[in-house]
């Protein structure tokens, strides 16, 4: 019988359910079990693709082109779980499917209701997600907070699961908050109310993960246990770590969380192999040097906007046994900055990430120009690569009006433009160039050196491409095209000539980087920054 772990959250949002769920998955894999991670999001959007980064953080893209919640990125980085469109379930998808079936008459004239039709569709998708990879345990993170009206159908579906598959095959893990008030006194009342709200829905939590600034002592755990009807040994202190989030699975293991989950699921406890994670944490805590990377972006104010890039830079540091300090630079502010030498004097490399829209673009172009002229390592991702091309076209190729038609439709030198099939797109959901595709790397290029192979597969998310019409002009001016699509029509990577380390890529390498397997491009970029330093 398959086993299921439901991870819910209480008190407030952004407590770290995604990392908590992924950490549980990590521990189960340390015991040699096959797992599947699933995220259910209560919003009505069909997917995260049309959401602003300020609203929802980054959009994580899967191999099969699904635009998903950033927590799927956590699942990929922490576990070996499949990460596809099946692992991302939204209310928009659920209602869309139920209404489709109703229109086709599949419900045989019955009145369509939240119970059982919506909850049945939720359960069907959860079961289906764990079937393809023959997983032994499916771990489901329920988005939102207990008490949110949007989350009720998902919690009801979780309650029904206990009857469908047997209570012995389900573990309910509830992540909650134990705030600290003046005098560094912990308050357990929010956790008590959160557990009570969950019980009112019909779910008794088996395990409580109590988020707090500092570790909880036995007295606090005993008090929480008394008022929540959760065994004291199953009250886990999910305190803030002072290092890396990749230490969290070890923090949980030290408190016996993996043992609790296995016992409640009726699975045999075996000694876990945590060596990979212990090695990652050791390198992170004992770096041989520090490298500063200036990230010039449009959404710098919200850390989650560049979640995967931040983590991939960390992984690049782990690959080189150095600490990576990210210096956030708002590209809009850069447009007003006069003293660039002062701004960039302490950074060892510049990263220009992806994004959409005109705002802040000239600041990104300025940053690219400064990196090129001052021989500073530079990595451009998606929009970042396009910015590198625009700057080079203006400054070196003699195309003073060079731009992207995204920002200046009337440009006389549109070196970046829409693909022909994108010209008449009116529906912006899931219509970009999305998902995993093949690229060929040019022999002798820096990107080929980083990957060590002529053929790579990476994930894309964009509408605009370097214009085929201007490729010859740019190459004649010295721009190196390091990677292309198999038909040699679309530019996948560029490189500045006579530069210490520069690569722009049209795809998103950050989506496939792990702490235990750093992406070669980020490892190479950090290595270039070390050499430059």
Instruction: Name the residues annotated as catalytic.
Output: 382, 508, 510
Q: Strands 402-404 and 413-418, how do they pair? A: parallel
Between CA 9 and CA 144 the distance in angstroms is: 7
Between CA 294 and CA 51 the distance in angstroms is: 26
CB neighbour list of residue 286: distance below 8 Å, 6 or more residues apart: none
* Residues in the chain, overall count: 533
Pick from 213, 505, 185, 246: nearest CA to 351: 505
Q: What are 68's strand-pairing partners?
A: 60
Structure tokens at 109: 């004239």
With contact defined as beta carbons under 8 Å apart, do 228 and 208 qualify? Answer: yes
Rg (CA), the chain: 25
Going by the DSSP 8-state scheme, the letter that residue 377 receives in this structure is -
Pick from 41, 11, 40, 35: nearest CA to 23: 35
With contact defined as beta carbons under 8 Å apart, do 398 and 477 qualify? Answer: yes
End-to-end CA distance of the chain: 56
With contact defined as beta carbons under 8 Å apart, do 197 and 239 qualify? Answer: no
Between CA 447 and CA 520 the distance in angstroms is: 9
- How many CB atoms neighbour CB 164 within 10 A? 13
- How many CB atoms neighbour CB 226 within 10 A? 12
Which residue do the tokens 């560094």 mark? Answer: 184
**What is the sign, positive or negative, of the torsion defined by CA atoms of 79, 85, 89, 91?**
positive
- For 277-338, give the DSSP string: HHHHHHHHHS-S-EEEEEEEES-TTSGGGGHHHHHHHHHHHHHHT-EEEEEEEEHHHHTT-S
- For 120-138, give the DSSP string: HHHHHHHHHHTTTTT-SEE
Q: 3-class DSSP state for residue 518? A: coil
Between CA 354 and CA 380 the distance in angstroms is: 8
Q: What are 503's strand-pairing partners?
A: 379
Exposure letters 53-87 (e unless 16+ CB within 10 A, then b): beebbbbbbbbebbbbbbbbbbbbbbbbbbbbbbb
Between CA 476 and CA 514 the distance in angstroms is: 38
């Amino acid at each position: 019988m398959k086993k299921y772990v439901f991870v819910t959250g209480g008190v407030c949002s952004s407590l770290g359910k995604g990392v908590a769920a992924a950490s549980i998955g990590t521990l189960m894999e340390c015991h040699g079990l096959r797992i599947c991670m699933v995220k259910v999001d209560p919003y009505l959007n069909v997917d995260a693709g049309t959401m602003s980064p300020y609203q929802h953080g980054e959009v994580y893209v899967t191999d099969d082109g699904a635009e998903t919640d950033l927590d799927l990125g956590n699942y990929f980085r922490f576990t070996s779980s499949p990460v596809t469109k099946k692992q991302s379930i939204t209310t928009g998808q659920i209602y869309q499917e139920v209404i489709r079936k109703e229109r086709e008459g599949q419900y045989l004239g019955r009145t369509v209701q939240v119970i059982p039709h919506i909850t049945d569709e939720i359960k069907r998708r959860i079961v289906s997600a764990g079937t393809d990879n023959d997983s032994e345990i499916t771990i489901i993170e329920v988005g939102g907070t207990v008490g949110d009206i949007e989350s009720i159908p998902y919690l009801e579906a979780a309650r029904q699961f206990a009857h469908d598959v047997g209570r012995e095959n389900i573990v309910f893990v509830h992540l909650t908050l134990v705030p600290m008030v003046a005098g560094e006194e912990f308050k357990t009342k929010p956790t008590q109310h959160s557990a009570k709200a969950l019980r009112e829905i019909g779910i008794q939590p088996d395990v409580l993960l109590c988020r707090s600034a500092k570790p909880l002592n036995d007295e606090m755990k005993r008090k929480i246990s008394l008022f929540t009807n959760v065994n004291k040994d199953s009250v886990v202190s999910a305190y803030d770590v002072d290092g890396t989030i990749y230490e969290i699975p070890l923090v949980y293991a030290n408190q016996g969380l993996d043992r609790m989950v296995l016992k409640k699921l009726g699975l045999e406890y075996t000694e876990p192999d945590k060596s990979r994670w212990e090695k990652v944490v050791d390198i992170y805590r004992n770096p041989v040097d520090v490298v500063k990377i200036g990230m010039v972006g449009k959404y710098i104010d919200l850390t989650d906007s560049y979640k995967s890039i931040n983590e991939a830079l960390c992984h690049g540091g782990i690959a080189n046994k150095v600490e990576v300090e990210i210096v956030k630079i708002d590209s809009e502010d850069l447009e007003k900055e006069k003293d660039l030498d002062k701004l960039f004097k302490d950074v060892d490399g510049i990263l220009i990430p992806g994004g959409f829209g005109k705002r802040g673009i000239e600041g990104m172009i300025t940053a690219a120009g400064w990196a090129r002229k001052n021989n500073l390592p530079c990595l451009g991702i998606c929009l970042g690569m396009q910015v590198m091309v625009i700057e080079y076209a203006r400054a070196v190729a003699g195309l003073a009006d060079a731009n992207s038609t995204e920002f200046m439709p009337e440009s006389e030198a549109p070196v970046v433009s829409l693909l022909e099939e994108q010209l008449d797109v009116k529906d912006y959901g899931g219509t970009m160039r999305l998902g995993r595709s093949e690229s060929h790397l040019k022999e002798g290029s820096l990107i080929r050196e980083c990957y060590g192979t002529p053929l790579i597969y990476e994930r894309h998310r964009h509408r605009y491409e370097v214009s085929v019409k201007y490729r010859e002009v740019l190459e004649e001016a010295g721009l190196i095209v390091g990677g292309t699509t198999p038909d040699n029509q679309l530019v996948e990577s560029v490189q500045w000539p006579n530069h210490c380390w520069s690569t722009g890529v049209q795809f998103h390498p950050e989506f496939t980087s792990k702490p235990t397997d750093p992406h070669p491009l980020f490892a190479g970029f950090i290595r270039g920054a070390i050499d430059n330093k």
